[in-house]
Amino acid sequence: MGYSSALIQRKFKDIVGRRYESVLKEYGEFLLADEEMLVPEVRSILIPLDLFAHDITDEAIDILSAYDATISLAYITDAGVVELIEQTLDRASMEEFQAKKEEYGQRLLERTVAKLEEHGFSTQTRMFVGHKGDDVVQMAKNHDMVALSRRYANGESTDLSISPTVLRICQRVETPALIY
């Protein structure tokens, strides 16, 4: 360090004292750090949908549009419910339930695909009977990000807290997760 540089630092210390550290701390609350400025490479995003998570908010679409990624929409009919109907009623009732679910899922996927394509996203869809938590965790391994509605798999609850299934998925996935 040259004389002038050392002189400036001495004067800086005497004039500013510890105030600069507190200013940096205050700015740190809302300015992005260098590593946060780097947009991670996200090529595929998984979004699970169901009866309760039937819409992707505009705010979520805004955030997702920062990435040039393909969106995979997955509609999962809960295997546990299907099994329960078969055990408590009969196979025909189960098949009727499953058909209705598939019909609803198909409509939901088509509607969501149309909305996303309006915003310039390329999309893929999947519909199957499975476990809403485990299967999403499994599928997330093949995606760069997972975006979850806070109401996904939340039953009929109207409260705005995050669904327990979503929390469990977030704890288990290794990819970044966005909750909308």
Partner 1 sequence: MDTIALIAVAVFLFTYALIIDERIHRAVAAMMGAAVVVFIGIITWEGLLEHIDFGTIFLLLGMMIIVNTARGSGLFEYIAIRTAKLAKGSPIRVMILFAIVTAIVSAFLDNVTTVLLLTPMLLYVARVMNLNPIPFLVTEIFASNVGGAATLIGDPPNIMIASSAGLTFNEFLIHLGPIMVVNMVLLIGLMYLIYGRSMRVSPDERQELVRTLNGLDERAAIVDRSLFNKSVAVIAFVVLLFFIHDRIGEILHTVLPFVDPTMGLEPAEVALIGAAILLFWSRQSPEEIFEKIEWPALFFFGGLFVIVGALVETGIISSIATVMVENVGTTGEAMFIVTWFAAIASAIVDNIPLTAAMIPLIHDLGATMDVYPLWWSLALGACLGGNGTAIGASANVVVIGIAEREGIGITFIDFLKVGMLVLFLTVAVGFGILWLKFAM
Chain positions contacting partner 1, by CB under 8 A: 4-5, 7-17, 19-20, 23-24, 26-27, 29-32, 34, 37, 66
The sheet with strand 122-130 has its strands ordered as 122-130, 70-78, 44-49, 145-148, 177-179
Which SS3 state, helix, strand or coil, does residue 152 take? coil
Of 24 and 84, which has the nearer Cβ to partner 1?
Answer: 24
Pair 140, 166: CB distance under 8 Å: no
HSE toward the beta carbon, residue 83, CA cutoff 13 A: 6
Query: Shortest distance, CB of residue 2 to partner 1, whole angstroms?
Result: 8
Of 37 and 160, which has the nearer Cβ to partner 1?
Answer: 37
Query: Shortest distance, CB of residue 10 to partner 1, whole angstroms?
Result: 4
Of 63 and 89, which has the nearer Cβ to partner 1?
Answer: 63
Query: Shortest distance, CB of residue 115 to partner 1, whole angstroms?
Result: 22
The whole-angstrom separation of Cα 27 and Cα 23 is 6
Of 16 and 84, which has the nearer Cβ to partner 1?
Answer: 16
Closest CA to 172 of 141, 127, 128: 141
Query: Shortest distance, CB of residue 27 to partner 1, whole angstroms?
Result: 5
3-state DSSP percent of the chain in helix, strand and coil, to 5? 50, 15, 35
Query: Shortest distance, CB of residue 172 to partner 1, whole angstroms?
Result: 29
Pair 145, 67: CB distance under 8 Å: yes
Of 20 and 128, which has the nearer Cβ to partner 1?
Answer: 20
Calculate the CA 66 to chain-centre distance.
Answer: 14
Query: Shortest distance, CB of residue 140 to partner 1, whole angstroms?
Result: 26
Of 21 and 96, which has the nearer Cβ to partner 1?
Answer: 21
